[in-house]
Chain A
Amino acid sequence: MTETAQPLAESATTTRPDPVPRELEPVPAGWEYREVEQFLFHEARLADENDYDGWEALWTDDALYWVPAGGADIDPVNHVSVIYDNRNRIATRMQQVKTGKRYAQAPPSNLRRIIGNVELLGGRRNADGGVDLEVAANFLAFESRVRGNELWGGRITYRLRRDDDQIRLAFKKVVLVDNDKELPTLGFLV
């Protein structure tokens, strides 16, 4: 059953960060590899442990959380994605799951993931004129539900921004290795 249009009409987005890759600048000053890695591990643990408030608090106001379908570099404006959430829609997604009646994630999945092959790719100029740090990593996540166990894997691109003393997440793109195939329900925070 798909009631479609209306429930998400209010969270539909109008302006979004440009997803098209542009030239990367050098890695901006003031970032240390170990600190970046610790942030990625922290984000992964919040997601694994379904700490929705903690996870949501990592995001910047211009957030973009993207899981493309049917390739890594599809045009998300003219092609469907598995997830393409701006900050509003991330909030809606978190509010839904926190009702405890988001059945695709109630009960929540048991999860653990490994983040590896972390590379600092460079600097990415953002809409405010600052430069975000672009980082890439590989991941493997093991998910257990009543439905069965699933192994998820792929390549993640992150954009990190320093906000006072906090590191914030401005962009996370998860390219699943098998995103050209049929996928089971993806109810957890990938």
Chain B
Amino acid sequence: MTALADSSTGLLDGAFYERLIEADRVHGRLYTDPAIFADELRKIWYRTWVFVGHESEVPQPNDYVRKKLGLQDVVMTRDKDGEVHLLLNRCAHRGNQVCDDESGNSSSFRCPYHGWTYRNTGELLGYPYNQGYGGKNKLELGMGSVPRVASYHGFVFGSFATEGPSLVEHLGAAAGEIDRLVGLSPEGRVELTAGWLKHKTKANWKLLAENETDGYHPQFVHGSIFGVTGSPIGALYSDNSTAVTRDLGGGHSENDLRPEFRKFAEPMRWFGTTADRVPGYVDAMHATHGEDAERILVEGAPHVMIFPNLFIAEIQVFNIQPVSAGACVQYSTAVQLAGAPELNKRMISQSIGSVGPAGMLLADDTEMYERNQRGVEALSPAWLDVRRGLARESIDDAGFRIGTATDETGMRGFWRHYKSLMER
């Protein structure tokens, strides 16, 4: 065994990660070591852009909703002028939690401990018995906040780094996949208003991020549901599929199923239905997009993993948040397309069947994550292999690395970016 097998941490520097992450394999310790998890909090979760929620969850001025960003308890608020803030749920006085309701509408928050009050921008409004501080407005204190907040088509991200790449720079080519999703709304707008299922998962968050665009597992993990429903999905992830796995750069990756859907050229096939069963939607799309509607309705929704924690799976959105080296939470909801009532109820119904703790797909993925986490505790072999398709990768017309439908191209892209962040 190499020195990697011992649990002494030492310096978690570039050389350290250089030894753990190779082009075709990654070390099991990356999933189990609490010191590496703590380092990820510093270098990824509390630095890079992280998906937090959606603007449609706080549609009105003074709406708020509780969220997680890494281990942080965050309150996403919309102030009276419409601006969205991410406040850290901690009183500037004694550190008590200020907001205890899951969601609501209020222009201010009052800490229950000593009655300090804050505007929903985080600004301190007042404190009782103010003579103890020499009068009103004497304290330059406030709730903490995530210093950079930005949104893209309503998807709200936060970054604890005061400087760095902009959100659009962070998203890079993955922004185009969000554009594709939003393009399926006749009004060009997506809403996440169906609530979130919360799925407790005893596995390292990276096992999920890697799996989201792993086209190798569906036939095996999901064979039980594909078989009983006669689903054509299995074929999308097979040796015969023309779909591709694309490394979008920046740790983002996608399973691009469009080549398969173009082959059939049937509008709404991606949604498991036909145009005549959702005529109002198809008409509205033609009214908005004209001749281009046909292409959009054939190609369907994206299947993209946006580093480190936003997964858009056609009609579902996932928010993955870490808890510890061996635990995370998956939040999932159904996409709701503005101006598409015929689709929206079906999306909720299908999401309930597929995802969350009892989902006929995700419960099985989650079982795999948890078994995988127990598996990587084994001392030997110490590595996880990510070489599948390495020898047959190519570069597409846009300059992105692509593999076949079942290749581990997405995982390798994830690890390249992960390493670049962790080496700093």
Query: Is B361 located at the chain interface by the 8 A CB criterion?
Result: yes
Q: A1-B221, A7-B225, A184-B200 are in contact. Are A84 and B314 (CB under 8 A)?
A: no
Query: Contacts of A8 on B, CB cut-off 8 Å?
Result: 225, 229, 272, 349-350, 353-354, 360
Distance of A83 Cα from B225 Cα, bound (Å): 16
A1 near B211: Cβ-Cβ < 8 Å? yes
Query: Is A81 located at the chain interface by the 8 A CB criterion?
Result: yes
Q: How many residues of B contact A (CB 8 A)?
A: 74
B197 near A82: Cβ-Cβ < 8 Å? yes
Query: Contacts of A105 on B, CB cut-off 8 Å?
Result: 363
Distance of A36 Cα from B127 Cα, bound (Å): 58
Stretch at the interface among B3-11, B212-220, B394-402: B212-220
**Shortest beta-carbon distance from A40 to chain B in Å:** 21
Distance of A84 Cα from B345 Cα, bound (Å): 13
Q: A77-B345, A80-B334 are in contact. Are A89 and B272 (CB under 8 A)?
A: no
A182 near B199: Cβ-Cβ < 8 Å? yes
Query: Is B355 located at the chain interface by the 8 A CB criterion?
Result: yes
Interface string of B204-237 (1 = CB under 8 A from A): 0000000111110110011111111111110011
Query: Contacts of A186 on B, CB cut-off 8 Å?
Result: 357-358, 363
B271 near A9: Cβ-Cβ < 8 Å? yes
Distance of A164 Cα from B371 Cα, bound (Å): 47
Distance of A10 Cα from B231 Cα, bound (Å): 9
Query: Contacts of A89 on B, CB cut-off 8 Å?
Result: 353
B350 near A4: Cβ-Cβ < 8 Å? yes
Query: Is B368 located at the chain interface by the 8 A CB criterion?
Result: yes
| A7: contacting residue among B213, B214, B233, CB under 8 A | B233
Q: A5-B270, A80-B196 are in contact. Are A103 and B233 (CB under 8 A)?
A: no
B357 near A82: Cβ-Cβ < 8 Å? yes
A103 near B271: Cβ-Cβ < 8 Å? no
**Shortest beta-carbon distance from B277 to chain A in Å:** 10
Interface pairs (22), CB distance under 8 Å: A1-B222, A2-B314, A2-B316, A2-B361, A3-B361, A4-B313, A5-B314, A5-B315, A6-B270, A7-B361, A12-B353, A69-B197, A69-B356, A79-B195, A80-B333, A81-B352, A99-B227, A102-B364, A104-B366, A147-B202, A186-B363, A187-B363
Chain A residues within CB distance 8 Å of chain B: 1-13, 67, 69-70, 74, 77-85, 89, 92-93, 95-97, 99-105, 146-148, 180-187
7 further contact pairs, Cβ within 8 A, besides A80-B332, A82-B358:
A1-B365, A2-B212, A4-B351, A7-B229, A80-B194, A146-B374, A186-B358
